[in-house]
Structure 1
């Protein structure tokens, strides 16, 4: 079940039917048991695998979350309430949890999508807000040291993919746990998953620059394979974002367009199951280009349109 990544670090990959279809959870060994990084999504597949792990006698000391997206926090409440394992998140993560408790986030996302010319999203009968209804046992902040297993890791705030995204870096072993900040084969979606306009691409560029300051032998992401050359992957990911921004700017060059129109021209079929993620990526790119003065917006009848300056 557990794949050895480095001395005292193991990976458990949980597969499920939706979204990314898999998530990596990391086990860091300590004298009191394992620190688990992220829990996987709330799903029957995840429950079954975790029960096998626990039934095998593997002791979990605590759970630490890189960020509070559903596929990372999904079983945290279950760990705390049913297994008796303390859960730790960042103070920023706790604020995101509260947003997901107190507001109809899906309704806000639907409003954002419609505002940017998108299709009305289908009704979602699955209410998963309950996964956020618990109180963490402790919190961490940027630049702190946190004990994972028996080792100390530096806490690094890396907003972009999520406003509450954190990585953990061990200086002596040059190991970095990077959540969804970088992935080996694809670029993580930079979206607005609480339905609030912001400028996460700007945050993401800053966070990519920050990664270059940490010499890393292996980076352990939340999805897919480990990354052996982190600097190279940072450069590749930044280059890909630069290219997409140029593409978005080109499509907004000669006439006003909604984010939905630009999205269709770039990605094609808006009937795709990936439509919302693709539209989110397009919206955040347009907002970034607006922030640096390369495009301007106009709003008519509640719909936003952009045009290159």
Structure 2
């Protein structure tokens, strides 16, 4: 159930059927109990795992969130209300929580998909906004030092995958809790999960540059295996993004196209459960290319198309 990673650091992997299909949560041991980093999706599987952990006699001191995507914040309210554990997030994370409580994000994402040439989605009555409907017990800000277990970690703001994404770095042990900022075998999706246009790839490049300044022996990812050569993985991920950007640019060199059309040419099967993530990645690449002057957009009857300059 608990996998020991380092002295006083343990991992719990929660598996589920959709999306990434698993998420890593970390427990950092301290004299007052364990600090839990991220909680997993609000799901039967996650409940069963955490109930087993708690039934084993483990005492949780507090919950700290890397970011507020559903698979990381899903059981935070349950920890607070049912287990009686304080929950901490960043000030930026709290803003995202409020956004998810006050706005129908699913409808905004559907509108964004249609705007970029995608299909109308069928109505979806599933509402999980309740997972955001609680008040955190405390907040942290970028560059602040926070206590995880008995060790101080620096909170490093790393926007890109999410506007409120934070990594946590312990200099004495050269450990970084890296969340979804970097994954060992795949690149995290850089999407527009608020349903609003922004330029997260530009943010992501800056965040990749930033974490290279922290000597790290092990980076603990939110999905998959730990990373033992952080700078090498940064370089690989940056190179992969550069290649994808060039690929997207090539597809709009001679003909203006929607992000949906470019997505189809790159990924093929648009009936895949991964379609929205693939489209999001394509949209953000086109927005980035537009921001650096390599493509321009044209709008026709409410549909956005892009053409290389």
**Band of TM-score, shorter chain:** over 0.9
1:254 aligns with 2:234: no
1:133 CA drift (Å): 0.1
Q: C-alpha separation between the residues in 2 aligned to 1:122 and 1:206?
A: 37
Q: Within 5 Å, which residues of 2 pair with 1:43-82?
A: 43-82=43-82
CA shift digits 1:15-64 (9 cap, x unpaired): 11111110000000000000000000000010011111101101000000
In 2: Cα distance, 1:75 partner to 1:288 partner: 34
1:126-165 deviation digits (Å, cap 9, x = unpaired): 2100000000000000000000000000010000000000
Match of 2:99 in 1: 99
How many correspondences in the alignment? 309
Question: Residue 41 of structure 1 corresponds to which residue in structure 2?
Answer: 41
1:189 aligned partner = 189
Task: Determine the structure 1 residue equivalent to 2:11.
Answer: 11
TM superposition shift of 1:122: 2.9
Instruction: Find the aligned partners of 2:11 and 2:132 in 1 and give their Cα distance.
Output: 24
SS of the aligned residue for 1:270 comes to: coil
Q: Which runs of 4+ in 1 moved over 4 A?
A: none
Describe the superposition over 1:199-219 as per-residue Cα deviations: whole angstroms up to 9, x where unpaired: 000000000001110000000
CA distance in 2, matches of 1:143, 1:53: 31
2:221 paired residue number: 221
Structure 1 CA distance, aligned partners of 2:124 and 2:165? 26
1:91-119, Cα deviation, whole Å (9 max, x unpaired): 00000000100011100000000000001
Q: Distance in 2 between matches of 1:256 and 1:16?
A: 39
Unpaired segments of 5 or more residues in structure 1? none
1:20 aligns with 2:20: yes
Which position in structure 2 is the counterpart of 1:199? 199
Over the aligned positions, Cα root-mean-square deviation in angstroms equals 0.5
